[in-house]
Amino acid sequence: MTTQDYQLLIITVISILFLIFLITSKLKFHPLLALLLTAIFVGFTSGLDIDKIVESIETGAGSTLGETGVTIALGAMLGKILSDSGASDKIASSILHNASYKKLPWMMALAAFIIGIPMFFEVGLIMLLPLIFTIAKN
């Protein structure tokens, strides 16, 4: 390994610690903002130009958000429709009336399994949130 390889390894370790610090310290940065600041930190300490740093962040974040962003947005819309139409209340009351206190976690797991089979994880979670909040309220 060359000196530059060791330097990049040290930058990686420091950036991971920096990311953990930003998220868990009293500063309580939002994880997305902490990741962005850490990426900028890695870029500058690695000796990249500002143009290359911005291009790298755009490429990385754009591809990640492009793949899951639409899925999450549609799942949020479907979850909101479930909540506003009263469907989550109906499902919650059905689960609460047909399950004892001990069986309630198993019934929720069954509902999550049924909803999660044809969907991505993100969509299933966002769809189940209104149901979870309704059951917790009751």
Rounded Cα distance, 79 and 75, in Å: 6
In terms of domains, do 90 and 127 share one?
yes
**Which structure tokens are listed for 86?**
């009263």
108-126, pLDDT tens digit by residue? 888 778 777 777 777 777 7
- HSE (side-chain half, CA atoms, 13 Å) at 7: 9
Q: Give backbone dihedrals phi and psi of 2, rounded to 5 degrees, phi first.
A: -90, 175
Number of domains in the chain: 2
Check pLDDT > 80 for residue 26.
yes
Instruction: Read off the DSSP letter of residue 1.
Output: -
50-70, pLDDT tens digit by residue? 999 999 998 988 887 777 777
Write down the pLDDT at residue 12. 95
Are the C-beta atoms of residues 86 and 131 closer than 8 Å to each other? Answer: no
**Which structure tokens are listed for 51?**
């143009």
Rounded Cα distance, 88 and 23, in Å: 33
28-46, pLDDT tens digit by residue? 898 889 999 999 999 999 9
Q: What is the pTM of this model?
A: 0.55
Tell me, yes or no, whether 41 lies in a domain: yes
In terms of domains, do 37 and 80 share one?
no
In terms of domains, do 76 and 38 share one?
no
For residue 43, give its domain range.
Answer: 3-48
